């Protein structure tokens, strides 16, 4: 028994199956109502967005304010495909095509702009997202302009959602634990030093940007396949900001932080729903307070791993032996 559990990969797998199974069970028994399922979908999409932005901003250190732009590319690509091919194959194709198109854009945009640093890069990515939005508004014949795409078939179910969310987290975590990931982190810590150590910084920055865009494209595709309707104005500046807030709130450079922050913000937002008029005011105040008292975010750059959980569990049950 003990030996099996020392295998980290297996532990993760069991944990994932458990989460999936429990939620699935709660859905079938009706404890998770359709309304909470919608919230769950939004939560999963936010997790994918935040984790992928964390790769760009938190781990590689490149501040991007244009994540919603990539998301919109994924959403539009997938919607256009599923509208013409309303089958599960079409959906899978749509998600993949959305992700690949977004990645392609990420690559094309990243190549010239990633020479910029800090706030200059931030403003350039922001401009890029605005340009994408204007193009979607004016490509009337394809995107139906400001009126948006209507009647997009809904394919997203909990198993799909789980598959994509867990997949995103696993792939990005594994990437970060590889030598490529270490290279990205070294760029965040000190670009010049890492270049001196022989790391091709441009290559890794563009790679991180492209991969981040890829997963943002997936998030967009899932969004389109769940909410029936998309229009360019949904993917504005504020959407990018929302994602950045999750990343910073959870901790730059902490995947589990992003997941926890996305969940926490979803819970806060749900709880505040009854205070319709003041909820955004409370949200803003909360944001400022959290940042003042915990500027490094909930997790800093630490990860919540199974061993940490285990330690927590042990210290709870065997107090005094710590």
Given a contact cutoff of 8 angstroms between Cβ atoms, the answer to whether 243 and 67 are in contact is: yes
Residues 12-41 that bind another protein (CB under 8 A): 14-15, 18-19, 22-23, 26, 31-36, 38-39
- Report the distance separating Cα 81 and Cα 62, nearest Å: 32
Q: How far apart are the first and last CA of the chain?
A: 24
Pick from 179, 295, 319, 320 the residue near another protein by CB under 8 A: 295
Q: Rounded distance, CA 190 to CA 187, Å?
A: 5
Q: How many CA atoms lie within 13 A of 214 on its CB side?
A: 15
Residue 122 structure tokens: 């931030």
Q: Applying CB under 8 A, which part among 95-103, 170-178, 201-209, 232-240 lies near another protein?
A: 232-240
In the complex with another protein, the residue whose CB is nearer, 202 or 233, is 233
Is 259 near another protein (CB under 8 A)? no
Q: Would you call 178 exposed, middle or buried from its count of C-beta atoms within 10 A (0-12, 13-18, 19+)?
A: exposed
DSSP 154: P
Q: Which stretch binds another protein (CB under 8 A): 78-86, 163-171, 208-216, 310-318?
A: 310-318
Query: Which residues in the 100-159 window bind another protein by CB under 8 A?
Result: 112-113, 115-117, 119-120, 122-124, 126-128, 130-131, 134-135, 137-138, 145-148, 150-151, 154
Q: Which is nearer to another protein, 100 or 185 (CB)?
A: 185
Radius of gyration of the chain (CA): 20
What CA–CA distance (Å, rounded) separates 145 from 149? 8
10 Å CB burial of residue 8 (0-12, 13-18, 19+) is: exposed
| Shortest spacing between CB 117 and another protein, in angstroms | 8
Residue 170 vs 269, nearer CB to another protein: 269
3-state secondary structure of 149: strand
Count residues near another protein (CB under 8 A): 87
Looking at the Cβ atoms of 127 and 175, the one nearer to another protein is 127
The DSSP secondary-structure symbol of 319 reads T
* Residue 268 within binding range of another protein, rule CB under 8 A: no
Contact set for another protein, span 37-96 (CB under 8 A):
38-39, 42, 57, 63
Q: How far is the CB of 256 from another protein (least distance, A)?
A: 13
**Residue from the set 3, 141, 189, 316 that interacts with another protein by CB under 8 A:** 316
CB of 137 to another protein, least distance (A): 6
**Sign of the alpha-carbon torsion through 192, 195, 199, 201:** positive
CB of 248 to another protein, least distance (A): 5
Q: Of residues 248, 259, 298, 299, which one binds another protein by CB under 8 A?
A: 248
Here the tokens at position 138 are 């004016």
| The one segment of 83-91, 165-173, 214-222, 227-235 that binds another protein by CB under 8 A | 227-235
* Residue 230: strand, helix, or coil: strand
Position 322 contacts another protein (CB under 8 A): no
Q: Where are the beta strands (DSSP E) in 249-320?
A: none
Counting contacts by CB under 8 A, is residue 4 touching another protein?
no
């Amino acid at each position: 028994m003990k030996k099996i559990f020392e295998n980290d990969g297996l532990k993760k797998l069991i944990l994932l199956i458990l989460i999936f199974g429990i939620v699935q069970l709660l859905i079938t028994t009706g404890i998770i109502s359709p309304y909470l399922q919608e919230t769950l979908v939004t939560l999963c999409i936010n997790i994918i967005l935040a984790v992928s932005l964390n790769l760009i901003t938190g781990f590689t250190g490149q501040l991007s304010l244009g994540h919603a732009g990539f998301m919109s590319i994924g959403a539009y690509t997938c919607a256009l495909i599923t509208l013409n091919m309303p089958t599960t194959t079409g959906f899978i194709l749509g998600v993949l095509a959305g992700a690949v198109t977004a990645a392609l854009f990420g690559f094309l945009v990243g190549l010239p702009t990633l020479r910029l640093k800090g706030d200059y890069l931030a403003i350039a990515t922001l401009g890029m997202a605005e340009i994408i939005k204007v193009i979607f508004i004016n490509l009337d014949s394809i995107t139906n302009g400001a009126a948006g795409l209507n009647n997009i078939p809904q394919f997203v179910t909990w198993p799909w959602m789980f598959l994509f969310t867990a997949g995103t987290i696993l792939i990005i975590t594994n990437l970060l634990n590889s030598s490529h990931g270490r290279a990205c982190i070294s760029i965040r810590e000190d670009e010049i030093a890492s270049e001196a150590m022989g790391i091709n910084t441009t290559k890794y920055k563009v790679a991180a940007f492209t991969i981040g865009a890829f997963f943002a494209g997936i998030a967009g595709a899932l969004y389109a396949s769940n909410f029936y309707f998309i229009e360019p104005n949904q993917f504005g500046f504020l959407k990018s900001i929302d994602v950045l807030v999750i990343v910073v709130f959870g901790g730059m450079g902490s995947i589990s932080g992003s997941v926890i922050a996305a969940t926490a913000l979803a819970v806060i937002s749900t709880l505040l729903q009854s205070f319709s008029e003041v909820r955004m005011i409370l949200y803003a105040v909360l944001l400022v307070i959290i940042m003042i008292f915990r500027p490094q975010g909930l997790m800093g750059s630490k990860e919540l791993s199974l061993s940490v959980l285990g330690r927590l569990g042990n210290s709870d049950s065997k107090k005094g032996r710590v």
